Chains A and B, each alone.
Chain A
């Protein structure tokens, strides 16, 4: 009989992957480092907050296994669990930088952001992605998606930045779960009760055939260990976020007004050969584009009137040595699910091309070009075809491009005059090293719409709203967001829809200040938990967890 890996709980899984008697748990349950955000919402916490860190050896090689417990709160990432993962990855990064090779292995069994700690989850996940991208310069970062939860939401984006993804047939990988798509786009878009459809679309059997996962193995402990060991030895890397030309070519071939079966998609996927795509800058025109806060500020900050671009939802242009990038609505877009400014399949790939080009052009320059993200993203796109093709790879591509740019020394600055929601924000905004936001009531900043969050957490919208009063990370407004400490600046005298000359001047100055503030500073994301608000209250648990992991990293 097989020795099932999936059957094991998160802790058993972590120990199962390391050589016998080599495993040592860091910040284990005895420290009872529970999330401080669950009990105020009347939710029972777990002593390890759903993440288990085990250092040990695999076939004699040093590894750190990061195991997400799928049974606790659906494997959702909150502040403490997120900080635990990031801390371990950063320790591993330091070791590798110092010539002490250690291989991180991440067991993904997660619904993504823990909705009860929504904005912490988003911050944490972007920080995880940042660390993974930095680590990949030294060692492959191997992911394992055993099931039964699979890998969803923001953590599916993380799965796409990992070097190599091993799965069993009991897992699914997707950005948006079927329930959420049904909630956001209707049952005709995706019937969440149709289990055959779900497993045929999001199940790993389809995923390994279409570039979303790399290897399908039996659910057996030894088999899984061997697969991971081999991936490490052979330094396997799928380069999943470096395939923008391939996906842009593929997307050119698909008619988004027509149905697309899994078989048809597999055929298109197999037949597609990457063709080089050029992304020209936005230029001015005679016809105004569809209104949005993002477009308004892009046009004002760049001086480009009625900006238009070949990819109508992505506006990008270099002005005064700074690259401005915005995602905007387009009422007649050929991708129906991005017409309101959502980040869809194409946007992420287009942005990654723009950003990677800048990094390439500046690679030998002393001073790197600043990249200014104008953030107004109501969400990621919710759609069946988006999931079938793997929208999370698109979002991961832009997130990875921004992270690499920042790590290479480019100041990556967010200017947030609009919404900053969920996967859209992870793809376009959360990899910045400074965030400037307007103190405007119209801004929504969250991980999921209220309707979907209520459905997934099995609460009423009223209960959800009650919870937002007690837990700032649950809130939907920028004022509560400030309390988390991640913002560089909250601008009180400028409003989102009023980009008058004074306002534009002020924002320009603030952007320049923010750029200057990154000079000779670390190129990671630590600024966010080192602000006075973060230290005082917003990221106390994060900081504590980082200290503990650091204390315990070496024996």
Chain B
């Protein structure tokens, strides 16, 4: 006879922690001013803690409070974050509160992340894609505590996360059903919610925040800053990729190149007679630059990972296009969006800081450990895909009876970045960064094997058509301009590649350089976009340039 095993140690521990803090609670609610003490009591050394923060929405009230906990009581936390976006996300490492980090994206803090790893202040578990990180929350990174943000909460503790729902339900689910503690900061406590996004059953503690959570209009690009070269590349892409492959379902990464394309659809795309034939269904953050295409009838549907500041009213008025609840606000969902982005799209178009001679690309450069967010999910060919679309089929090699199609993964770059650094390099900085940061793998964002097209101002390389690595390299060289990689190209070889359809220059596509003018953009200013939106789009003040 053995003693009966206790199968609910996690639940016991959770209940003990909540009991020890019970004096701070009135039901599920704690007072704003008690936030630090709540965290001091509920978080234990070594806990795995998810702090909600993606590249747009930040649980900023809780992250600031976490910097104020007592490092004697709370230390050696293992932080799990989609995005390291705010200084306080790293301050907790300097303060000895946290010691380990698993993350996806470091954006604005990427330089400091590099520095902290070098100094030994931070240990990195791994750099992930969003989907991987979400997946691991249910496998081997099951959180003890999650700290998340909600727009509104009712008296019973139901949450409304609304327009910026993003990844909150995913994080909460991982904790709520495995005896982790769910702590929520709320912008507002109300009697009645517009809708319930997360039921109160899943929530343990609610703390009204002193100010609304931080929100960045990260995907908004001001058309005023779109250059002629970006327009040229956009025209090439529309003709040489979107139209050629009949791309109907797609994602655009964040950047001016894709904003240019969005604004060319109602003008250049219309001229080419492509409306209804391409760009119908989107997985995309609600970028304002897509408004002219939506208004001109190009777009059938858009599902979004997250919200975008200023787009609320416009989206509410376009429920045919966006995923909008009965209450009139969109529900975004990053995890489902990433699934869609990986499996349900014909094409991903992104940009990068470096591409090597073989076609691998990365935004990790010397001194900047930026991570990748969602690009590797969408920028990869999911071998588990079974459904077919014309675009997917168009990449199928014809010499193999068992062949299947492939997702289009397109990189769009100017050969030299704005800092005049060459984008095409023999070796990615990421190779060095791997050594410095002691990572198991080189932090590559999109692998050569997944990259089907590269577009530069020089032309398009159709990499999927190459049949050897040598040919792939030659195709990249042909469009790499005067970068060290591009200088290896020679005219005879380029001629051959053009004949085989592996490389297309603007003239091969019938795109005239002199037509690449800003007047071709459906909107040239933010104000034009507001006009297209019938006044429904309300751009953040930082984009204001008119009276």
**Interface set of A (CB-CB < 8 Å, partner B):** 1, 3-4, 7, 147-148, 169-170, 172, 194-196, 199-200, 202-207
Across the A-B interface, give the 6 residue pairs with the lowest CB-CB distance, nearest first. Answer: A203-B547, A205-B547, A195-B544, A199-B547, A169-B546, A196-B541
B52 part of interface (Cβ distance < 8 Å) = no
Give me 12 other A-B pairs in contact (C-beta within 8 A), A147-B545, A169-B546, A170-B546 excluded.
A1-B522, A4-B524, A148-B224, A148-B545, A169-B527, A169-B547, A170-B525, A170-B545, A172-B547, A195-B542, A199-B547, A205-B547
Which residues of the other chain, A, contact B545 by a CB distance below 8 angstroms?
147-148, 170, 195, 199
Say if the beta carbon of B468 comes within 8 Å of chain A.
Answer: no
Task: Across the interface, name the chain B residue whose C-beta is closest to A148.
Answer: B545
Asked if A4 and B519 make an inter-chain contact with CB atoms under 8 angstroms apart, the answer reads yes
- Say which residue of A170, A195, A206 sits within 8 Å of B541 (CB atoms): A195
State how many angstroms separate the Cβ of B423 from the closest Cβ of chain A.
25
Q: How far is the CB of B238 from chain A (nearest CB, A)?
A: 18
Report the minimum CB–CB distance from B5 to chain A (whole Å).
61
In the complex, whether B453 has a CB less than 8 A from a CB of chain A is: no
Q: Is B518 an interface residue (CB 8 A)?
A: yes
Give min CB distance, A251 to chain B, whole Å.
Answer: 24
- Asked if residues B518 and A7 are in contact (CB atoms below 8 Å), the reply is yes
Q: Report chain B residues within 8 Å CB of A148.
A: 224, 545
Can you identify 27 A-B contacts, CB atoms within 8 angstroms? A1-B267, A1-B522, A4-B519, A7-B518, A7-B519, A7-B524, A147-B545, A147-B546, A148-B224, A148-B545, A169-B527, A169-B547, A170-B527, A172-B547, A194-B541, A195-B541, A195-B542, A195-B543, A195-B545, A199-B544, A199-B545, A199-B546, A200-B547, A203-B546, A205-B547, A206-B547, A207-B547
- B517 — nearest CB in chain A belongs to which residue? A7
Contacts of B224 in A (CB 8 A): 148
Give chain A residues whose Cβ lies under 8 Å from the Cβ of B541.
194-196
Which residues in B have their C-beta under 8 angstroms from that of A3? 519
Per the bound structure, the CA–CA distance linking A7 and B521 in Å amounts to: 11
B91 to chain A, nearest CB (A): 24
Report the bound CA distance from A200 to B543 in whole Å: 14
| Distance of A201 from chain B, by nearest CB (Å) | 9
Total interface residues on B, CB under 8 Å, equals: 15
A-facing residues in B510-524 (Cβ within 8 Å): 518-519, 522, 524
- Cβ-defined partner of B544 (8 Å) among A7, A196, A206: A196
Q: Given the complex, which residues of A lie within 8 Å of B544, measured CB to CB? A: 195-196, 199
Q: Which residue of B lies closest to A204 (CB)?
A: B547
Report the separation of the CA atoms of residues A205 and B546 in the bound assembly, to the nearest whole angstrom: 9
Binding site for A on B (CB under 8 A): 224, 267, 518-519, 522, 524-525, 527, 541-547
Residue on A with the closest CB to B522?
A: A1
Residues in B with CB closer than 8 Å to A4 are 519, 524
Complex-state Cα separation, A172 to B543, whole angstroms: 15
Contacts of A170 in B (CB 8 A): 525, 527, 545-546
Question: Which residue of chain A has its CB nearest to the CB of B292?
Answer: A1
Main secondary structure of the interface of A (DSSP, over half): mixed
* Least CB separation from B540: chain A residue: A195
Separation in Å of the B494 CB from the closest CB of chain A?
33
Query: Residues of B contacting A196 with CB < 8 Å?
Result: 541, 544
Most-contacted residue by chain A among B519, B541, B545, B546 (CB, 10 A): B546
CB distance from A361 to the nearest CB of B (A): 42
Contacts of B542 in A (CB 8 A): 195
The CA of A194 and the CA of B544, in the complex, are separated in Å by 10
Residues of B within 8 A of A147 (CB): 545-546
Contacts of A203 in B (CB 8 A): 546-547
Q: How far is the CA of A194 from the CA of B542 in the complex (A)?
A: 8
A4, B518: Cα distance in complex, Å: 10
What is the chain B residue whose CB lies nearest that of A194? B541
Q: How long is the Cα–Cα vector from A1 to B541 in the complex, in angstroms?
A: 26
Q: For residue A200, which residues in chain B have a CB less than 8 angstroms away from its CB?
A: 547
Chain A nearest Cβ from B531, distance in angstroms: 9
Q: For A169, list chain B residues within 8 Å (CB).
A: 527, 546-547
Q: Which chain A residues border B547 with CB–CB below 8 Å?
A: 169, 172, 199-200, 202-207
A161-B140 Cα distance, complex, nearest whole Å: 74
Give every chain B residue within 8 A of A7 (Cβ-Cβ).
518-519, 524
Chain A residues, CB < 8 A from B519: 3-4, 7
Q: Which chain B positions have C-beta within 8 A of A206?
A: 547
Q: Smallest CB–CB gap between B260 and chain A, Å?
A: 15
- In the bound complex, what is the Cα–Cα distance between A462 and B145 (angstroms)? 53
Residues of B within 8 A of A172 (CB): 547
Q: Distance (Å) between the CB of B446 and the closest chain A CB?
A: 35
A contact residues around B527 at 8 Å (CB): 169-170
Q: How far is the CB of A70 from chain B (nearest CB, A)?
A: 13
Q: Which residues of B contact A202 (CB under 8 A)?
A: 547
Q: From residue B266, how far is it (CB to closest CB) to chain A in Å?
A: 9
Residue of B nearest to A193 (CB): B542
- Looking at the assembled complex, report how far the CB atom of B224 sits from the nearest CB atom of chain A, in whole angstroms: 8
Nearest residue (CB) in A for B542 is: A195
Min Cβ gap A59→B in Å is 24
**How far is A207 from B547 in the complex, measured between Cα atoms in Å?**
10
User: Which A residues are CB-close (under 8 A) to B525?
Assistant: 170
Closest to B544 in A: A195
**Nearest chain A residue, comparing its CB with the CB of B547:** A203
Give the distance in Å from the alpha carbon of A202 to the alpha carbon of B547 in the complex: 8
A372 CB → nearest B CB, Å: 42
Least distance between B535 CB and chain A CB atoms (Å): 14
A194 to B540, CA, bound (A): 11
* Chain B nearest Cβ from A3, distance in angstroms: 8
- Complex Cα distance A4/B527, Å? 12
Q: Which residues of B contact A195 (CB under 8 A)?
A: 541-545
Nearest-neighbour CB distance to chain B for A208, whole angstroms, equals: 9
In chain B, what residue has the closest Cβ to A203?
B547
User: Across the two chains, which residue of chain B brings its CB closest to A207?
Assistant: B547
Least Cβ distance of B533 to chain A in Å? 16
Please measure, in the bound complex, the distance between the C-alpha atom of A195 and the C-alpha atom of B541, giving whole angstroms: 6
> Which residues of B lie under 8 Å from residue A205 when comparing CB positions?
547
A200–B546 alpha-carbon span in the complex (Å): 9
Q: How far is the CA of A169 from the CA of B519 in the complex (A)?
A: 19
Cα distance A4–B546 in the bound complex, in angstroms: 14
Write the nearest CB–CB distance from B298 to chain A, whole angstroms: 16
Q: Report the separation of the CA atoms of residues A507 and B547 in the bound assembly, to the nearest whole angstrom.
A: 51
B520's nearest neighbour on chain A, judged by CB, is: A1
- B180 to nearest A CB, angstroms? 40
A79 to B518, CA, bound (A): 32
Query: Which of A1, A3, A7, A203: most chain B CB closer than 10 A?
Result: A1
- Measured CA separation A205–B519 after assembly (Å): 25
**Could you tell me the distance in whole angstroms from the C-beta of A125 to the nearest C-beta in chain B?**
25
A170 CA to B541 CA in the complex, in Å? Answer: 15
CA distance A206 to B547 in the complex (A): 8
- Docked Cα-Cα span, A147 to B546, in Å, equals 9
